[in-house]
């Protein structure tokens, strides 16, 4: 085995965000850029000799090139076997499932999630631990520090591996096993849900659904499970072929980028009664009923409130968790069930220790991510199957189920306003000034609303005791409403300001007030507190979801 050592030097900007390292393809394709980061990961591992690594991605541009590079570097790092998805395809939740089922040492997932693809688009990479979940902040910080001092990377001199055919090939002394990317994941889903009941629902002539895979990774999974195992009519899955540029679209399942799906469910002549979509790497989801979009926060709360219909969870929930910016709707469900509800920073890794400790069963984030203890990532298709199982068991539509939920628990009217590509200096100034105002906000009245608490959210992990600071500015108002300000860690250019707006409405007579109309006073309050327009020059958000 010919191991080649290449002299290199640190490259700026390799600090991972909440979901790994994401940059433009043109950045990753620079000589040594990917290699430096991968070597920094491997240099922080111990005990991987002879062990199994899982590798795959969402099929975006540069995915195939990166996999060949990582395979050669993994062989040089001493791994004994790499399980790689056929054609390099492996959704993020499927990668987690494979890591767990195959007792792998860890995994590398290549994805920039919901970000655009193509040669001018984005690329990303992250390392997942043996539990199947994203590496914790201690590990990612160590990777970053190594990237600042790296002087050499290593690879085995060998030809590319044919990833199109399942089977096993030697790369140096390491076995490369090309696997069916769907098999382990589909088997896991079938063990969780009542597939017979879902199949009966899909066979009803009055029930028609559409799943929009957005030319991203979930196409093969949705076709195999929905149209294959569950018998949904051919064509139920649209945009089902993964493309390197996602067909020129933006693979983010929200009302803006999945507008065709929303329009189809609003069209009384479409015959559709249920719709769903997933994102670039398959970990996010959107649920749509007839002329009715289910917000991610409501979706998490509804799933928790209907756990008893799902075979895998029918024995009860240990607890639930949500990221801090996610609406408090699930908190009310947890209170009614008498189970804990954890509030964590944004980032799925924060749920991992709670899941491993058996302290929670369901968890979710407002950014269209929900999941459970079956894997250690959010799981888009899992959420769709959960909804289908509920619909089949209750024999009601999604809008009926959500509105009944509101009548029982009240409605947490909720929206997120994204200001994308803000100059970093302006974003930093906005937060510096905002944080400076926090000590004087509590007890004041702004636009007729009284501030009960204003802080910069910090979190102490109840399992390992780790501390995370500055996770988002919260302004909590009397009556259960709130505004949250946070800079996103998933973009690749400039800064993305996210403003989360939430208003609790108990009166059922007000539940049908349009979301943005109901939240208008909070939008005005957010502007008064943060001076968004003045500092950023933005009069309106780029995306409202």
- For residue 113, indicate whether it is catalytic: yes
Does position 493 have pLDDT exceeding 70, yes or no?
no
Residue 96 CA to residue 116 CA, distance in Å, equals 23
Which of these ranges, 362-376, 395-409, 475-489, has the smallest mean pLDDT? 475-489
Bridging pattern class, strands 411-422 and 543-544: antiparallel
Given the residues 113, 295, 323, 353, select the one marked as catalytic. Answer: 113
pTM for this predicted structure? 0.94
Residues 6+ apart with CB under 8 A from 512: none
Which domains are delineated in the chain? Answer: 3-181 (3.40.120.10), 185-409 (3.40.120.10), 411-544 (3.30.310.50)
Q: How confident is the model at residue 26 (pLDDT cuts 50, 70, 90)?
A: very high
For 430, residues 6+ apart whose C-beta sits below 8 A from its C-beta are: 497, 530, 531, 532, 535, 536
116-139: b or e for each residue (b if 16 or more CB lie within 10 Å)?
A: bbbeebbbbbbbbbebbbbbbbeb
Check residue 492 and give its pLDDT: 56
Residue range 214-252, pLDDT digits in tens:
999 999 999 999 999 999 999 999 999 999 999 999 999
Average pLDDT over residues 270-282: 96
Mean predicted lDDT score pLDDT of the chain: 95
Residues 6+ apart with CB under 8 A from 334: 304, 319, 320, 340, 341
User: Degrees (nearest 5) of the Cα angle 437, 500, 116?
Assistant: 120
Q: CA 456, CA 439: separation in Å to the nearest integer?
A: 10
CA 145 to chain centre: 26
Q: Give the contacts of 204 (CB within 8 A, at least 6 positions apart).
A: none
Token duo for residue 245? 């540029």
In whole angstroms, give the CA distance from residue 22 to residue 215.
Answer: 20
Using CA atoms, how far apart are residues 25 and 16, in angstroms rounded to an integer?
16
Task: Dig out the tokens for 480 from the structure.
Answer: 């259960």
> How much of the chain, in percent, has pLDDT values that exceed 70?
99
Q: Inform me whether the pLDDT recorded for 489 exceeds 60.
A: no
- Phi/psi region, residue 385 (left: phi>0; alpha: psi -120 to 50; beta: rest), is alpha
């Amino acid at each position: 085995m010919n191991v080649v050592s290449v002299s290199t030097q640190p490259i700026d900007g390799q600090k991972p965000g909440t979901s790994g390292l994401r940059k433009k393809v043109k950045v990753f394709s620079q000589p040594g850029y990917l290699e430096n980061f991968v070597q920094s990961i491997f240099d922080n591992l111990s005990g991987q000799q002879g062990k199994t690594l899982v590798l795959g991605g969402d099929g975006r541009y540069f995915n195939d090139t990166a996999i060949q590079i990582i395979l050669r570097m993994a062989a040089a790092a001493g791994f004994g076997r790499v399980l790689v998805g056929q054609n390099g395809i492996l959704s993020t939740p499927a990668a987690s499932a494979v890591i767990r089922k195959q007792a792998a040492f860890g995994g590398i997932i290549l994805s920039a999630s919901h970000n655009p693809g193509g040669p001018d688009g984005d690329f990303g990479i992250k390392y997942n631990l043996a539990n199947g979940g994203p590496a914790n902040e201690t590990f990612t910080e160590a990777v970053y520090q190594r990237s600042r001092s790296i002087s050499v990377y290593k690879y085995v001199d060998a030809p590319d591996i044919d990833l199109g055919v399942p089977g096993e090939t030697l790369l140096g002394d390491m076995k490369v096993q090309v696997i069916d990317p769907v098999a382990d994941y589909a088997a896991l889903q079938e063990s969780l849900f009542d597939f017979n009941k879902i199949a009966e629902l899909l066979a009803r002539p009055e029930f028609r659904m559409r799943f929009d895979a957005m030319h991203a990774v979930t196409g093969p999974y949705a076709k195999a499970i929905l149209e294959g195992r569950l018998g949904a009519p051919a064509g139920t899955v649209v945009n089902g072929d993964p493309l390197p540029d996602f067909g020129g679209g933006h693979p983010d399942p929200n009302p803006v980028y999945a507008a065709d799906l929303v329009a189809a469910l609003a069209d009384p002549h479409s015959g559709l009664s249920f719709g769903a979509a997933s994102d670039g790497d398959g970990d996010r989801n959107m649920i749509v009923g007839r002329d009715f979009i289910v917000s991610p926060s409501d979706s998490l709360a509804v799933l928790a409130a209907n756990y008893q219909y799902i075979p895998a969870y029918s024995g009860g929930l240990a607890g639930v968790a949500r990221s801090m910016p996610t609406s408090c709707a699930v908190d009310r469900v947890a209170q009614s069930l008498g189970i804990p509800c954890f509030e964590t920073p944004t980032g799925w890794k924060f749920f991992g220790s709670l899941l491993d400790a058996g302290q929670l069963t369901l968890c979710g984030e407002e950014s269209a991510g929900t999941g459970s203890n079956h894997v250690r990532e959010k799981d888009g298709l899992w959420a769709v199957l959960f909804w289908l199982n509920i619909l089949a068991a209750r024999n009601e539509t999604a809008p009926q189920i959500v509105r009944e939920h509101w009548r029982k628990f009240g409605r947490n009217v909720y929206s997120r306003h994204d200001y994308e590509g803000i100059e970093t200096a302006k974003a930093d100034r906005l937060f510096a000034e905002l944080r400076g105002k926090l000590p004087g906000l509590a007890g004041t009245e702004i636009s007729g609303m009284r501030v009960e608490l204003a802080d910069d959210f910090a979190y102490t992990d109840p399992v390992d005791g780790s501390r995370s600071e500055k996770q988002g500015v919260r302004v909590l108002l009397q009556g259960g409403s709130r505004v949250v300000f946070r800079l996103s860690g998933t973009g690749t250019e400039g800064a993305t300001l996210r403003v989360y707006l939430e208003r609790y409405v108990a009166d059922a007579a007000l539940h049908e007030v349009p979301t943005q109309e109901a939240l208008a006073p909070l939008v005005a309050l957010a502007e008064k507190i943060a001076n968004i327009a003045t500092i950023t020059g933005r009069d309106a958000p780029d995306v409202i979801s």
